[in-house]
Structure 1
Amino acid sequence: MPTLLVIESSPRPASVSTSLTQKFVAEWQQKYPGGNVITRNLFAQPAPFVSEAWIMAAYTPKDHRTAEQTAALAASDEYIQELSQADTIVIGAPMHNFSISAPLKAWIDQIVRPGATFSIGEGGYKGLLDSKKKVIVASARGGEYTGELAFLDHQTPYLKTILGFIGLTDVHFALANNQSRAAEAAEAGLKLGTEQILALA
């Protein structure tokens, strides 16, 4: 049966981005009632920051790693295993200061790893994860970053680039814009984001 990986990165349990991911999960479970859902809440269980020990371990061949180096990569191994298992990945990604939240960045730093999710060869860099995996990013934003304000959106291009770098090129976005604006604008933004996430499910 298919597997869905759910990544939550909002500090608020009842956040708009979380409400969107949960709507996706509910629709996905109706479609695949026997499917496996893996949920990782990066605020409740933060990903460790990359350390010097992590860097040394990541660039050491597996057969030559010390016990300490293996331990340094334990969380990374777990996250990458979850990604490898998943057929579909949904990421709750509230926009923080025009980009992604700190918990999500720490998780990304753990999964972008040489020899595990990307390789470096004569032809340059190559993503090692299956490009057939579908990624959906559910994002709540205070404003709407289009037109003259499009340059402020560092979230969408970054996520497309970094996920594509490790092989995940089938990336889609559901955006609940204007969440810090007046109630009418916020409601309209949530309605559109909900329509987008359900369509992607």
Structure 2
Amino acid sequence: MTTLLHIDSSARSGASDTLAHGSHTRRLTKRFMDRWLETEPSARVIRRDVGLAPPAPVTGDWIHAAFTPEPNREPWMHEALGPSDRLVDELLEADVIVAGVPMYNFGPPAQFKAYIDNIVRVGRTFGFDRSRPGEPYWPLLTGMGKQLVILSSRGDFGYGPGERIAARNHVEASVQTAFAYMGVTDTHTAAIEYDEFSDARLVQSISDAEHQVDALVHTLQTRELV
């Protein structure tokens, strides 16, 4: 049985196929989940909406607690790390992470950055040892077979690799970098563009992204269910 971690980070509460001015990324993540469950209805789904219920940003106390060895942590440290522990537990349980990450001012929403800061955890998702020869950091999720799916949306167009304003796109690259640091390197993407134009190009971009999502579900299910 596959475990899917469904993450939404859009500040908009509804999807664009059911609500005027709704979220394109929520539209794509919902489509992904619906298509997956059509074929594997027994799949387990973990739902995490960081857009509407964002994790708290990390604080000095959080950092102090995270870098204190667990046997030495005081009660307040365990309390400070509690919400982060739950997010990490969800990530560890997931086979497929489906993240809706719209572009806000060329990068991920602050809500999603807070999520990343809570799951990149020393001793849980990456290792650190000052005395280790060579690189003192290493990923802890390597070899677990986790798949990361990043479903994005942009107001302008031409943000894809090699396109007119690709250098301004800091969404996929930043998310991929953080997950790769933890050991999740098998990544798949799809995105809707032209939102600010609201013309036939947007309609076509939505259609193209939905077809990419459908194809991606088929590809990953073939890999997961064999």
TM class, shorter-chain normalised? Answer: over 0.9
Corresponding residue for residue 44 of structure 1? 52
Corresponding residue for residue 42 of structure 2? 34
CA distance in 2, matches of 1:136, 1:54: 28
Bigger-Rg structure (1/2): 2
Once the two structures are superposed, residues 76-114 of structure 1 have per-residue CA deviations (whole angstroms, 9 ceiling, x without a partner) of 100000000011010000100011001000000000111
Flag the 1:165–1:141 CA change in 2: closer, same or farther, 3 A. same
Judge conservation of contact 2:13–2:52 (CA < 8 Å) in 1.
no
Q: In the TM superposition, what is the alpha-carbon distance from 1:126 to its structure 2 partner?
A: 1.4
Deviates more, 1:75-84 or 1:148-157: 148-157
Q: Residue 30 of structure 1 aligns to which amino acid in structure 2?
A: E
Q: Is the aligned partner of 1:187 residue 2:189?
A: no
TM-score normalised by the chain length of structure 1:
0.96
Flag the 1:182–1:19 CA change in 2: closer, same or farther, 3 A. closer
Q: In the TM superposition, what is the alpha-carbon distance from 1:44 to its structure 2 partner?
A: 2.2
* 1:73 aligned counterpart, secondary structure: helix
Q: In the TM superposition, what is the alpha-carbon distance from 1:148 to its structure 2 partner?
A: 2.9
Once the two structures are superposed, residues 10-40 of structure 1 have per-residue CA deviations (whole angstroms, 9 ceiling, x without a partner) of 0112211000000000111122211110111
Alignment of 1:81-96 (within 5 A): 81-96=89-104
CA distance in 1, matches of 2:13, 2:214: 20
Judge conservation of contact 1:179–1:189 (CA < 8 Å) in 2.
no
Q: Residue 150 of structure 2 aligns to which amino acid in structure 1?
A: V
Judge conservation of contact 1:134–1:171 (CA < 8 Å) in 2.
yes
TM-score normalised by the chain length of structure 2:
0.86
Aligned-residue identity in percent = 36
Q: Is the aligned partner of 1:113 residue 2:121?
A: yes
Once the two structures are superposed, residues 141-188 of structure 1 have per-residue CA deviations (whole angstroms, 9 ceiling, x without a partner) of 111214231111111211111110111101111111111114211111
Judge conservation of contact 1:177–1:193 (CA < 8 Å) in 2.
no
Corresponding residue for residue 4 of structure 1? 4
Judge conservation of contact 2:5–2:45 (CA < 8 Å) in 1.
yes
* 1:148 aligned counterpart, secondary structure: coil
Judge conservation of contact 2:150–2:172 (CA < 8 Å) in 1.
no
Q: Please identify runs of 4+ aligned residues in structure 1 that moved more than 3 A.
A: none
Q: Residue 22 of structure 1 aligns to which amino acid in structure 2?
A: K
Judge conservation of contact 2:97–2:147 (CA < 8 Å) in 1.
yes
Q: Is the aligned partner of 1:198 residue 2:214?
A: yes
* 2:164 aligned counterpart, secondary structure: helix
Structure 1 vs Structure 2 CA RMSD: 1.2
Q: Which runs of 5+ in 2 are unaligned?
A: 15-22, 218-226
Alignment of 1:171-186 (within 5 A): 171-186=187-202
